[in-house]
A and B are shown apart, each in its own frame.
Chain A
Amino acid sequence: METDFTPLPSFAGGLLIGLSAVLLMALLGRIAGATGILSGVVTPSGIREWSWRAAMVAGMASAPTAVLLVTGTLPEITVPVPLAYLVVGGVIVGFGASLGNGCTSGHGVCGMARLSPRSIVATLVFMATTGATVFVIRHILGG
Chain B
Amino acid sequence: MRIVSAYLIGLVFGLGIVISGMANPAKVLNFFDIAGTWDPSLIFVMGGALAVAAIGYRIVLRRPAPALADSFQIPTRRDLDLRLIAGAAIFGIGWGIAGFCPGGALPALGTGRIEVAVFVAAVVAGILAARLMPKPGAAAQRKQ
**Are A and B subunits of one complex?**
yes
Q: B68 and A129: CB pair below 8 A?
A: no
B53 touches A18 (CB 8 A): yes
Contact yes or no, A17 B13, CB < 8 A: yes
The 8 Å CB contact of B91, one of A3, A29, A126, is A126
Q: Which residues of chain B are within 8 angstroms of A14 by Cβ–Cβ distance?
A: 16, 20, 44-52
A 45-87 to B, binary, CB cutoff 8 A, 1 in contact else 0: 0000001110111111111111100000011111111010111
Do residues B56 and A77 form an inter-chain contact, with CB atoms below 8 A? Answer: no
- The 0/1 profile, CB within 8 Å of B marked 1, for residues 101-119 of chain A is 1111101111111111110
Q: Output the least CB separation between B144 and chain A (Å).
A: 23
Does A96 lie within 8 Å of B89, measured CB to CB?
yes
A residues in contact with B131, CB < 8 Å: 43, 98
Least CB distance from A108 to B in Å reads: 7
Could you tell me if A95 and B130 are in contact, using CB atoms closer than 8 angstroms? yes
Is the beta-carbon distance between B47 and A88 smaller than 8 angstroms?
Answer: no
With a cutoff of 8 Å between Cβ atoms, the chain A residues found around residue B102 in the complex are: 34-35, 38, 93-94, 97, 103-105
Cβ of B84 and Cβ of A101 under 8 Å apart? yes
Complex CA distance for A94 and B125, rounded to whole angstroms: 7
Tell me which of B60, B84, B100 contacts A90 (CB under 8 A).
B100
The dominant DSSP class at the A interface is helix
B10 to chain A: closest residue by CB = A59
Residues of B contacting A44 with CB < 8 Å? none
CA–CA, A113 to B47, complex, Å? 10
- Whether A63 contacts B17 in the complex (CB less than 8 A), given A101-B84, A116-B78, comes out as yes
Q: Separation in Å of the A79 CB from the closest CB of chain B? A: 5
Q: How far is the CA of A15 from the CA of B109 in the complex (A)?
A: 21
A21 CA to B55 CA, complexed, in Å: 11
Residue in contact with B103 in the complex, picked from A23, A105, A118, A138, CB distance below 8 Å: A105
- Residues of B81-114 contacting chain A, CB below 8 A: 83-104, 106-111, 113
Name the residue on B nearest A75 (C-beta). B18
A110-B84 contact given A17-B48, A32-B13, CB 8 Å threshold: no
30 sampled A-B residue pairs with Cβ under 8 A:
A2-B30, A13-B45, A15-B51, A16-B15, A16-B20, A17-B48, A18-B16, A20-B13, A28-B5, A31-B75, A34-B101, A38-B123, A55-B2, A56-B6, A64-B111, A66-B11, A66-B14, A78-B25, A83-B115, A85-B97, A91-B123, A92-B93, A94-B102, A94-B128, A96-B86, A96-B87, A102-B88, A118-B77, A118-B78, A130-B96
Give the interface of B toward A (CB within 8 A). Answer: 2-27, 29-30, 32-37, 39-42, 44-54, 56-57, 59-61, 63, 65-75, 77-80, 83-104, 106-111, 113, 115-116, 118-131, 133
